């Protein structure tokens, strides 16, 4: 069996490799760099990602190594104006009801070490030159970029190739897939600093000065991550190749930090970047796929980018595994299953780009709406609203990606209770038993809340599908699950079919229609 060739060893590439390895699919992962730069920007890991990490066996290690943000503070022109409570805003919704911070460089190290423990090692100094697709595989050309062997090339046969190689994806360029969109007219900066003062307190701090903003997240003793954005027109840095040659002093507002009582003792690293908002025309081209920033880039508002790329990887992994194991009946069924990756994830990416763009535009709007938001809503109204659990829960639902669903997908069917095919399975704990605990294996399964009909038991036994039956409790009804209904769960923990009758006939038809063999 040819391997899946993954180009790029950022979080999405590493998660894809890990999920495939967990499903016993051979994989090769390469990256052109010696190691990922320490100036990695992503910091927040949302609850839905942690739920998916639970299936990969790394959720607890991720939580233990990171930091929970309990509070966010609002600063205006150097003065503290308000405090927004976060806490465990998603209590009762997920086993990870908090905002979790884990710097991307440490995050990647954990993923790579976990992958290596399964016998898969990232090959550094390997870049994709191009590839040719054949009937049964792709032939990729890889170039060595190491100083000892620069320019040496090899040809490699892979079953599939996946571009996890960022906004300038070589895989996307080789496929000639359009990547339409534009850049924001602001320069973003990020720095990892060490210092003292009121912002080094394990909390988040959002600072506004006119339409410029800065986010400070304290994630370790005397350490914090600074993220911010300034208008290009306000830069006075010298030009290099027609663009400002920006230094730390050009964008980080030292005077404002001083007014905030902050002292920066050491800057461990600093980087600037322009943010684009783009979505690839398709996430699939034959045997090639795009994941993460190779497929979509957008505003950093809400910390959605890396989490979305990880969601891409989990969605694609089980579909590739099904095809490579021969668990799909016929060419047409294989194409439908693989096409569903682009259909499901691109629809979400388009929505995400639109919502994050809107949020960013409002945040930095130079008109009265932006001024009113920054001067009154965020510092004065938001802290009051955050005292109410309902508002905290609503905000958490939107930010944490637990609302992501595939209801419009061709892989979704049925409704039982308020749970649709395509929904994330609601998380419920009854008498210490957690229904998501049965999702640890990357397999199809059936869950019943109440009594399982004998026909369903016999069908699951014949198909060798795990059947998990939970004694009925009103807590399940409160979560939207229907008594005695049967829920067919996909390998990526989303509901495939919600069947109110509790009988297996619809499941049988579903597998026939989709072409998956179980």
Residues 66-115: tens digit of each pLDDT: 999 999 999 998 899 999 999 999 999 999 999 999 988 899 999 999 99
Of all helices (H) and strands (E), which one includes residue 142?
A: strand 138-144
**pLDDT in the model for residue 236:** 61
Least confident of 289-293, 384-388, 456-460: 384-388
pLDDT at 224: 92
Give the end-to-end CA distance of the chain in Å, rounded to a whole number.
Answer: 20
Q: What is the mean pLDDT of residues 272-281?
A: 87
Reduced to 3 DSSP states, what percent helix, strand and coil does the chain have, rounded to the nearest 5? 35, 30, 35
Three-state helix/strand/coil letters over 239-273? EECCEECCCHHHHCCHHHHHHCCCEEEEEEEEEEE
Percent of the chain residues past pLDDT 90, beyond the cut:
73
Q: Which helix (H) or strand (E) holds 347?
A: helix 331-363
Residue 239 pLDDT > 50, yes or no? Answer: no
Which H helix or E strand runs over 498?
strand 495-499
Q: What is the spatial distance between Cα 387 and Cα 430, in angstroms, rounded to a whole number?
A: 28
pLDDT of residue 512: 94
The two tokens of residue 79 are 């003065």
Which residues on adjacent β-strands are paired with residue 170? none
Closest CA relative to residue 45, chosen from 110, 102, 112, 106: 102
Alpha carbons 115 and 22: distance in angstroms, whole number? 9
Return the ∠ at Cα 312 (arms to 310 and 313), rounded to 5°: 65
Q: For residue 193, is pLDDT > 80?
A: yes
Residue reference for tokens 């229609």: 513
Would the pTM count as exceeding 0.85? yes
Q: Is pLDDT above 90 for 332?
A: yes
* Residue-wise pLDDT tens digits, 350-388: 998 888 777 777 777 778 877 888 888 888 899 999 999
- The enclosing H or E element of 31 equals strand 27-31
* Residue 289 CA: distances (Å) to CA of 13, 315, 345: 12, 12, 12
What mean pLDDT comes out for the span 19-27?
Answer: 98
List domains and CATH numbers for the chain: 4-39+104-178+281-361 (3.50.50.60), 67-101+181-279+368-400 (3.30.9.10), 413-514 (3.40.30.120)
Phi first, then psi: give them for residue 180, nearest 5 degrees.
Answer: -85, 150
| Cα atoms in the 13 Å half-sphere on the side-chain side of 316 | 32
Does 241 score more than 60 pLDDT? Answer: no
What pLDDT score does 397 carry?
94
Pick 375 or 313 by higher pLDDT. Answer: 313
Percent of the chain with pLDDT over 70: 96
Tell me what the pLDDT averaged over the chain comes to: 91
- The full DSSP string for 145-209 is -STTSTT-EEEEEESEEEE-S-TT-HHHHHHT--EEEEEEEEEEEEEEEEEESTT-SSSEEEEEE
Assign 3-class secondary structure to 206-218. EEEECCEEEEEEE
Q: Model confidence over 108-148: pLDDT tens digits?
A: 999 999 999 999 999 999 999 999 999 999 999 999 998 77
Which residues are CB-neighbours of 23 under 8 A, at least 6 positions away?
317, 318, 321, 325, 442, 491
Backbone angles phi, psi at 294, to 5 degrees: -65, -25
Q: Tokens at residue 20, please?
A: 């495939």
- pLDDT tens digit string along 34-45? 765 555 578 899
């Amino acid at each position: 069996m040819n391997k899946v060739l993954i180009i790029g060893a950022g979080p999405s590439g590493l998660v894809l490799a890990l999920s495939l390895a967990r499903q016993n699919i051979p994989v090769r992962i390469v990256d052109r760099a010696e190691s990922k730069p320490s100036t990695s920007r992503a910091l927040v890991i949302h609850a839905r990602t942690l739920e998916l990490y639970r299936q990969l066996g790394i959720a607890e290690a991720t939580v233990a190594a990171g930091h929970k943000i309990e509070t966010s503070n609002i600063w205006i022109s150097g003065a503290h104006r308000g405090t927004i409570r976060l806490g465990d805003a998603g209590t009762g919704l997920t086993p990870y009801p908090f905002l979790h911070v884990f710097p991307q460089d440490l995050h990647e190290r954990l993923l790579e070490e976990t992958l290596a423990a399964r016998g898969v090692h990232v090959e550094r100094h390997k870049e994709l030159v191009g590839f040719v697709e054949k009937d049964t595989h792709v032939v990729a050309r890889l170039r060595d970029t190491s100083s000892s062997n620069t320019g040496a090339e090899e040809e490699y046969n892979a079953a599939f190739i996946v571009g996890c190689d960022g906004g300038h994806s070589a895989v996307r360029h080789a496929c000639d897939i359009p990547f339409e969109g534009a850049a924001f007219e602001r320069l973003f900066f990020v720095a990892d600093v060490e210092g003292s003062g009121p912002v080094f307190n394990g909390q988040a701090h959002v600072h506004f000065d006119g339409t410029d903003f800065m986010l400070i997240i304290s994630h370790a003793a005397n350490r914090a991550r600074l993220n911010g954005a300034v208008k290009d027109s306000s830069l006075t840095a010298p030009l290099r190749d027609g663009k400002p040659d920006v230094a730390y002093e050009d964008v980080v507002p030292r005077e404002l930090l001083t007014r905030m009582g902050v002292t920066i003792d050491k800057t461990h690293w600093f980087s600037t970047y322009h943010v684009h908002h783009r979505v690839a025309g398709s996430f699939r081209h034959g045997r090639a796929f795009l994941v993460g920033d190779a497929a979509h880039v957008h505003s950093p508002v809400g910390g959605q980018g890396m989490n979305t790329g990880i969601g891409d990887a989990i969605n694609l992994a089980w579909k590739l595994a099904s095809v490579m194991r021969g668990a799909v009946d016929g060419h047409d069924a294989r194409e439908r299953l693989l096409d569903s990756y682009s259909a499901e994830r691109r629809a979400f990416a388009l929505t995400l780009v639109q919502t994050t763009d809107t949020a960013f535009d409002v945040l930095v709007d130079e008109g009265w709406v932006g001024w009113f938001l920054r001067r009154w809503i965020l510092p004065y109204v938001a802290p009051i609203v955050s005292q109410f659990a309902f508002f905290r829960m609503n905000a958490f639902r939107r930010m944490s990606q637990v609302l992501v669903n595939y209801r419009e997908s061709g892989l979704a069917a049925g409704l039982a209770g308020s749970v649709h095919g395509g929904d994330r399975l609601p998380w419920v704990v009854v008498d210490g038993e957690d229904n998501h605990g049965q999702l640890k294996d990357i397999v199809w399964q059936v869950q019943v809340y109440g009594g399982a009909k004998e026909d369903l038991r016999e069908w699951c036994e014949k198909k060798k599908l795990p059947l998990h039956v939970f004694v009925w409790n009103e807590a399940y009804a409160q979560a939207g699950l229907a008594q005695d209904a049967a829920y067919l769960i996909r390998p990526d923990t989303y509901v495939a079919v919600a069947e109110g009758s509790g009988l297996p006939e619809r499941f049988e038809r579903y597998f026939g229609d989709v072409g998956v063999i179980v």
